[in-house]
Structure 1
Amino acid sequence: MTDVTEPATLATAPVPTTDPRVARAIELIWREAELLDRKDYGAWNDLFTDDGIYVVPIQPDTDDFAGTLNMIYDDARMRRMRVTRMIEGYAIAAVDAARTVRTVSRFVPESVSDGEVVLRSAQVLIAYKRGRHDVWAADVVHRIRLSDEGSEADRVVLKVVRLVDSEDVVPAAGFLL
Structure 2
Amino acid sequence: MSLDTAPTGPKAAEERVGAKPTGNGGRYSAQSRLGGHAPRTERTGRALPFDDPRHLQAHQWMVEEAYILDAQNYEDWLDLLTEDIHYIMPVRVTTALTAGFDSAPHMAHFDENKYSLSRRVARFLTEHAWTEDPPSRLRHHVTNVRTFATPNEGEIVVDTAVLLYRSRGDVREASVISAGREDLLRRGGEGWQLARRTILVDDSVLRTQNLAVFL
Partner of 2:40: 6
Counterpart of 2:169, as a letter, is R
Aligned-partner Cα distance in 2 for 1:18–1:99: 34
Partner of 2:14: none
Matched, 1:28 2:27: no
Structure 1 residues 94-125: Cα deviation after superposition (integer angstroms, max 9, x where no partner): 22221101110101223356311101110011
User: Which secondary structure state, in structure 2, belongs to the residue aligned with residue 93 of structure 1?
Assistant: helix
| Cα contact 1:126–1:136 (8 A) shared by 2 | yes
1:153 positional shift: 2.6
User: Which secondary structure state, in structure 2, belongs to the residue aligned with residue 68 of structure 1?
Assistant: strand
Alignment of 1:1-177 (within 5 A): 5-8=39-42, 10=44, 12-59=45-92, 61=101, 68-112=106-150, 114-131=153-170, 132-147=173-188, 149=189, 152-165=190-203, 167-171=204-208, 172-177=210-215
1:7 positional shift: 2.2
Aligned-partner Cα distance in 2 for 1:7–1:124: 22
| Cα contact 1:93–1:173 (8 A) shared by 2 | no
**Aligned residues between the structures:** 169
Counterpart of 1:104, as a letter, is V
User: Which secondary structure state, in structure 2, belongs to the residue aligned with residue 82 of structure 1?
Assistant: helix
Contiguous gaps of at least 5 residues in structure 1: none
| Structure 1 residues 8 and 137: alpha-carbon distance in aligned structure 2, compared to 1, 3 A threshold | same
Q: Say what the alpha-carbon RMSD is for the aligned residues.
A: 2.5
Aligned-partner Cα distance in 1 for 2:139–2:211: 14
Q: Which has the larger displacement, 25-34 or 135-144?
A: 25-34
When normalised by structure 1's length, the TM-score is 0.83
User: Which secondary structure state, in structure 1, belongs to the residue aligned with residue 125 of structure 2?
Assistant: helix
Aligned-partner Cα distance in 2 for 1:24–1:135: 28
1:154 positional shift: 1.4
Counterpart of 2:40, as a letter, is E
Aligned-partner Cα distance in 1 for 2:174–2:59: 27
Q: Which has the larger displacement, 67-76 or 52-61?
A: 52-61
Q: Percent identity?
A: 20
| Structure 1 residues 33 and 89: alpha-carbon distance in aligned structure 2, compared to 1, 3 A threshold | farther
Aligned-partner Cα distance in 2 for 1:56–1:23: 26
| Cα contact 1:117–1:145 (8 A) shared by 2 | yes
Aligned-partner Cα distance in 1 for 2:121–2:102: 26
Higher CA-based Rg: 2
Structure 1 residues 148-177: Cα deviation after superposition (integer angstroms, max 9, x where no partner): x4xx43110011121111x21442133222
Counterpart of 1:138, as a letter, is A
